A and B are shown apart, each in its own frame.
Chain A
Amino acid sequence: METLLFNLIWLIPLLTVIVCIPVPKTNTKLLKGIHTFSGSLVLALVGYLTYFVYAQGSAAVHESAAPLLLRFFTDIPWLQAFNVHYIVGADGLNMFLLLLTAVIVWAGILVSYNIKGNQKVFFALIQMLATSVYGVFMSMDLVLFFVFYEMEALCMYLMIAGYGSGNKDYGGKKLTLTLAFGSSMILATLFGIYFEGGVNSWSIMELSKVTLPMEFQMWAFPLMFMGFAVSSSLFPFHFWSPDGHASAPTAVSMLAAGVMMKMGAYGCLRVAMFLMPEAAKIWLPYVVLLLIFNVVLGPFIALRHKDLKYITAYSSISHLGLIFLGLAALTPVGLRGASLQMISHGFLTGLFFATIGMIYERTHTRDITQMGGIMRKIPFLGVGFVIAGFAGLGLPGFSGFVAESNIFIGAFQQGDTITRIVTILAILSITTTAVYILQTANRMLHGNMPAKYESLTDGCFREKLVIVVLVACLLLIGVFPGWISDLLDQSIAPIFAKISQAAAPVVGG
């Protein structure tokens, strides 16, 4: 029963699109109703399934999914000509990422009520994007995974080009082409993994049981890792993210920064590191060097920007850098921290972009020097923005603190000197984060208010609901991290076991 419900997660958005085809595009009320209902339905469904996974604990996982502790395991032959199967399943990590996606999609639908243009197509595209992200976090077959992973490029471009603001074609193209570049690197390595693996299967579980040849891993791992890292905006492939976010409509920014950028980090962990642990041990120390840009310089760039979306985009870049620091640490605590950060950053950046979108709808500018003192007029939105900022700089009580402390502890456990130095730099860079968050909040929300903002109104019930739910999620993880990290530990254990079992690599062999 639960397995069936689980498979519905990615089907419901698609069905919603089909249901909406006969609805005339002028009847926006009905369209919004259907899409909001569908979003809430998936949210409820994922919430129930997460609770189900939590209640079951480690008991009775599906055996044919070994070594991963997957539930709701489904395996149906799909494209038999190449042994491609429809394999889906979820462990704790997948479940929480799905929950995050469901919340962000739900919030994204709610904040898009006033989008200009053809709303029918816009909501359909949001649902297709949701399908893509759900699919990525569910699928355990590499081809299925890639199909869902690449699908997002299609929806993202249409949404940014059709409904964005500013230099939308430039931003959209930059984003789509950079992501497509990343996916093409992944696709090229996928063929290699299939043929070098020699088990005639694209299943992640089957492939994890073989050790890929070392010569192959040595070139395939960096290609694949960087391919995934493109969508998580790891330096030097971070450049798409600020322009892309700046021209995207609010819901797209939320989905892109909140969930889609996690797909890359998730892919690094689940596919690249899990299938090629030997090469991961060799290459990840070099990745740490790239992180210096993300973690240390990212906040400084954010400091100099005036556009709210650019500030948030660079803040995302620095937070995603921390995920990679956790991954590169190669310790259980570091991996747990990275997974926690994926989830925590999803909520907080979703909150960031949601409030920015709401403020922009009222002030029609995102330039913080043009604003000032609007806290008096829109206290609710202002507080939401400040909370997002505080969560971002890792204030205890919010999820950011839990995730970041785990990452720093995990990274410091790694004896490597360079990793330790980068860790210390990363901890120090939190100060920079604090500076730009406070500076932005100060300039935008306090001080003298320009006269034109006298007529601003605070958020309506719909907007308040979005903010309250996102803040609640941040607090929930921050105050009760135990139940979530237990499940995450369970799902990370097989990945870490595979990495620690990996034979000491022979360099230059």
Chain B
Amino acid sequence: MYSISNQLIPDLILLALPFLILIVRLCSKRTTVMPWRIANLGLIATFVMLNMIPLTNSEGAFFLSNWRVDDFGVLMREVFVLSGILGLWLAKDYFDHGADGKPALMHITEFMATLIFATFGGFIVVSACDMLTLFLGLEMATIPMYALTAWNKRDQYGSEAATKYILMGSVATAFELFGFSYLYGFAGSIHFSQIASATSAGTSPLLWIALLFIFCGIGFKLTLFPFYTWAPDVYEGAPTPVTAVLSVTSKATAIAFLVVLLYGPLAPVQDKIVPLVALLACTTLFVGNLGALKQSRLRRFMAYSSIAQAGYIMIALLGPGYISKTAIVYYLFVYTVANYLAFFVFGVIGHYRPESFNSLRGLSKQNTLLAVALAAAMFSLAGIPPLAGFFGKFHLFFSGATAGHYMVVAFAVLNNVLALYYYLQVIKSAWADEPEGELSPIRMVKRQRFVVIALLAATILLGVLPFVSNNVFTGFTF
């Protein structure tokens, strides 16, 4: 039914989708909802098609071996598409109505097209077989995000955030390209297989310089210490749905980039890179946790929380490839679900009140569903069982411990207590604090209610139900 060459179908659908909706938008009336429907349909079709690709050990290589569809790639594509769908749904409310009755954002078709292009950037990263494609993917995932950050033209904070983002981002890109050029100088080729044979033949200072620059570049995109400082400002300035997409899609793209490099061309020297990865992981999660302790605005808080999460994900990179990849894919699923759940709750509240901790007060008395959903999202991000976040972190730590890095794992586990403190701060606002004065009413449209319930169920069940990890990951070998 589904032959190997059809592994490209999801990629082709997703690539055609933005052009299609832009053309439909051009040819129809201003108030049309067709582009929105087509985009949803296309993304869901992509997701379904991805699920129909059997997970086998085979690698599909296409276009002169420059495009590869392997198990990790397929599962990462699912993460990207899932994040894209949820991002669109979250954004839809901002195009419909705002706090003052006026929509917060305009031009939904163009927004969707830009978002889908960013998603496709992730596809390119996980399919890359040479440095040029890899770079192309990373940029394709990043440049639309610059535009999305400044989507609300009337909002000066958004423009400021976008300026900051694009300036820092381009410097990081320059660093990365510089690293790539040294890597080319070292290996004499940009193709992964040739770089791999060069690294297994021996190392040279050129390789370490290249790696250092590449880590600087990717450290920016993954918000690793000490390149994370842009994140809180950009996350706070960007519109809420864009912040959600930033914290999931662009983080997933960056981590996929590292996985592709570390377990691909750099696999022979992976054990030598491990100390650097361990150092980056520990400092990042510690700094992220410390930064989140004293935040009072929700999006800024989520920025620091996502910095810390990036540190936790890095721990998986210490382990051998077959465990590390499953751990990262699984954690990204879990993280996507919990993060979007939090952002959906913030989005619902943000329509009626400012997005700060104080606005959450009295939520448990006003709307039980939202309060429970918020608590589940926060506990899942903090890694408390039986929620999915615990099992995700368990995967990550297991990967790190497999290679014997007990001390790193122990440090990360103890840091969880710090993380729990600030996630409890959010829950405290919603559950313990008494509201100041009369509470403005909160209404949810059908879509919001559906998404919140679905994500809540996923947060609770994703970890506990064994078939998720067994069926997906036992067939998922490398």
Contacts and interface: CB of A to CB of B under 8 A. Distances in A.
A188 B406 contact: yes
Contact of B424 (A82, A173, A187): A173
Nearest to A25: B368
A183 to B, nearest CB: 9
B348 to A, nearest CB: 19
B385 A150 contact: yes
- Interface residues of B: mostly helix, strand, loop or mixed? helix
Interface stretch (A45-53, A115-123, A291-299, A411-419): A115-123
A78 B432 contact: no
B401 A118 contact: no
A81 B466 CA distance: 10
A121 B374 CA distance: 14
Interface in B361-381: 364-365, 368, 372, 375, 379
A161 B432 contact: yes
Contacts of A194: 401
Interface residues on A, range: 35 or more
A151 B384 contact: yes
Given A173-B424, A173-B428, A81 B469 contact: yes
B470 A81 contact: yes
Given A118-B368, A154-B379, A184 B398 contact: no
B132 interface: no
A151 B385 contact: yes
Interface in B426-478: 427-428, 431-433, 466, 469-470, 473-474
B343 interface: no
A321 to B, nearest CB: 25
B72 interface: no
Interface residues of B, number: 40
A172 to B, nearest CB: 7
Interface in A157-176: 157-158, 161-162, 168-169, 172-173, 176
Nearest to A189: B410
Given A80-B466, A81-B473, A81-B474, A177 B368 contact: no
A356 interface: no
A80 B406 CA distance: 22
A153 B427 contact: no
Given A173-B421, A173-B428, A180-B416, A121 B368 contact: yes
Contacts of A169: 428, 432-433
Nearest to B473: A81
Contacts of B432: 161-162, 168-169, 172
A392 B424 CA distance: 35
Contacts of A81: 326, 395, 469-470, 473-474
A146 interface: yes
Contact of A158 (B375, B398, B416, B421): B375
Nearest to B472: A81
Contacts of A187: 397, 413
A317 B252 CA distance: 47
A84 B184 CA distance: 44
Interface in A428-459: none
A191 B401 contact: yes
A341 to B, nearest CB: 29
B417 interface: yes
Contacts of B226: none
A184 B413 CA distance: 6
A147 interface: yes
A79 B469 CA distance: 7
A113 interface: no
Nearest to B411: A188
Interface in B130-187: none
Given A150-B390, A154-B384, A180 B466 contact: no
Interface in A91-150: 117-118, 120-121, 143, 146-148, 150
Contact of A79 (B406, B421, B466): B466
A195 B400 CA distance: 12
A409 to B, nearest CB: 39
Interface string A186-211: 01100110110000000000000000
A169 B390 CA distance: 24
A118 B365 contact: yes
A146 B394 CA distance: 11
A48 B417 CA distance: 40
B409 interface: yes
B474 to A, nearest CB: 6
B396 to A, nearest CB: 11
Contacts of A180: 384, 416-417, 420
Contacts of A172: 428, 432
Nearest to B378: A154
Nearest to B405: A191
Contact of B431 (A78, A148, A150, A161): A161
B87 to A, nearest CB: 28
B404 to A, nearest CB: 7
A37 interface: no
Contacts of B424: 157, 173, 176-177
Interface centre among B375, B431, B466, by most A CB within 10 Å?
Answer: B431
Contact of A188 (B391, B410, B421, B433): B410
Which of A146, A161, A194: most chain B Cβ within 10 A? Answer: A161
B438 to A, nearest CB: 19
B1 interface: no
25 contacts: A25-B368, A77-B470, A78-B466, A79-B466, A80-B466, A81-B473, A118-B365, A121-B364, A121-B372, A146-B385, A147-B386, A154-B379, A157-B427, A161-B431, A162-B431, A168-B432, A169-B428, A172-B428, A177-B421, A180-B417, A184-B417, A191-B398, A191-B409, A194-B401, A195-B402
Given A121-B364, A177-B420, 17 more contacts: A80-B466, A80-B474, A81-B473, A143-B394, A151-B384, A151-B385, A151-B386, A158-B375, A158-B431, A161-B431, A169-B432, A172-B428, A176-B424, A177-B417, A177-B424, A184-B414, A191-B401
Closest 6 CB pairs of A and B: A161-B432, A188-B410, A147-B385, A191-B401, A162-B431, A184-B413
